[in-house]
Amino acid sequence: MTDVAIADAIDAYLQRKAVGDPDGPGAGTYAANAESILRRWAEWLDAEHDVTSLFALESAQMRAYASELKDRTERGTYTASTAGTYYAVVRAFLSWCVRGEILEENPAANGDAKRALPSADGRSDGDLWTGGQRRALERYVRDRALDAPEDDHETRRSRLREYAMVALFAHSGVRGSELFRVPEDERRTGATWDDVDFYTGTIDVLGKSQRLEEVPLPAAARTPLRRYRVVLDPPSNDWPLFPTRHAPSIARRVREALAERGHDEAEVDALLADSTAGELARERSIAPPAITTEGARSVLRRLCEEADIDVEGGYLTPSGVRAEPDEHRYRREASPSKPTLRASVDERSIAVPEERPTALDVDRRSRDEPSE
């Protein structure tokens, strides 16, 4: 059989899925959700294992992929549910290849690979915040925020930022990947002030269901967030709740935005010569990138050290605060008047139609692609 490139097989799979399955509605929506997952998996295989051929794929690479998903979950980049969904999408694609007799067996179905995935809750006992630890950290950030000198605007803004961050984790049930930017996921760019509704006391986030979800903001979370907004004074509602302080990232965003607005490189250089990137971003209402999930974890690590809070693992993680097992009951899909970012990818949508692909489908798809 002619060698089949993984990228070509993915193209054929997505093309079939986009058409839809008459016996299983929702296939077209599934294709849209699966595409970014499968493309990133293929890029990871190429970069980490130099595997681009479907026939060269082995269970060892799928065990490595499962371990990579687990590592990202432990770093707070993904939730355990998201990691499981990503693996399930890849497994469904490879099952489709097996049914079409492109592959003899599914390397993702190996038991060792599946056991390498993160557990259902995605965290260890050391990650969990006890009530005493949570109160100690919150008391520390609250006291230092309220004690910040009125005439030192930068210090006051920084401390209120940390207070708001801790209060959101402690009282709202919102996840780190919903608040902050996830570099590996282009959909998760961080929550903005447009997502917050102080009147209803809610925040809209891209939940692990991959839908826009409405999360309640109790007063204990809402009040610190409101105080922080006053000192942050975002020039527009598309400003992230927690913008990055990484100067090169801000400068890059400013340059890109100014170029899109018609400024040439010389004009941009002249503007940046007279102002910092941060000042120019505010002046021109150019929203900077949000802080990343890893950046937020660094903030929490530092705060735990400063507050002298003894935690197994060194610091309180964003995921550890979610000790409430029925948290999902307090969430609901955002109002239909607000756009849903993505349809849910769950086990029902992962089911595939009975039609069988063939190697000819993949070969034809490859020949039909225009050459670069």
pLDDT in tens, the chain (372 residues): 578 899 999 998 888 876 654 444 344 556 667 888 899 999 999 998 899 999 899 888 898 898 888 888 877 677 777 888 888 889 889 988 888 888 888 888 877 777 778 765 444 444 556 778 888 999 999 999 999 988 899 999 999 999 999 999 888 878 888 899 988 788 889 999 999 999 999 999 988 777 888 899 999 999 999 999 999 999 999 999 999 988 899 999 999 999 999 999 999 999 999 999 999 999 999 999 999 988 888 888 889 889 888 765 556 666 555 444 444 446 677 665 554 333 333 333 333 333 444 444 444 444 444 333
Report in angstroms the alpha-carbon separations of 141 from 137, 303, 350.
6, 8, 44
Instruction: Output the pLDDT for position 227.
Output: 95
Residue of 297, 117, 328, 122 whose CA lies nearest to 205? 328
Task: Locate 92 and state its tokens.
Answer: 């469904």
Instruction: Output the pLDDT for position 315.
Output: 60
Cβ–Cβ contacts within 10 Å for residue 168, how many?
28
Give rounded-to-5 percent helix, strand, coil for the chain: 55, 5, 35
Within 13 A of 1's CA, how many CA atoms are on the CB side? 15
Which residues lie below 8 Å from residue 358, measured CB to CB, with a gap of 6+? 100, 101, 102
Residue the block writes with tokens 């965290």: 123
Instruction: Output the pLDDT for position 325.
Output: 41
pTM, entire model: 0.59
Locate the domains of the chain by residue range.
Answer: 6-123+346-368, 129-246+289-322
Instruction: Output the pLDDT for position 313.
Output: 55
As to burial, measured by CB atoms within 10 angstroms (0-12 exposed, 13-18 middle, 19+ buried), residue 297 is buried
Instruction: Output the pLDDT for position 316.
Output: 65
Superfamily of segment(s) 129-246+289-322? Intergrase catalytic core (1.10.443.10)
As a whole number of angstroms, the distance between CA 296 and CA 76 comes to 10
As a whole number of angstroms, the distance between CA 208 and CA 168 comes to 17
Residue the block writes with tokens 């016996």: 23
Helices of type H across 107-246: 111-115, 131-146, 153-171, 176-179, 219-232
- Name the phi and psi angles at 206, rounded to 5: -80, 100
As a whole number of angstroms, the distance between CA 252 and CA 266 comes to 15
| Contact indicator for 345, 210 with CB cutoff of 8 Å | yes
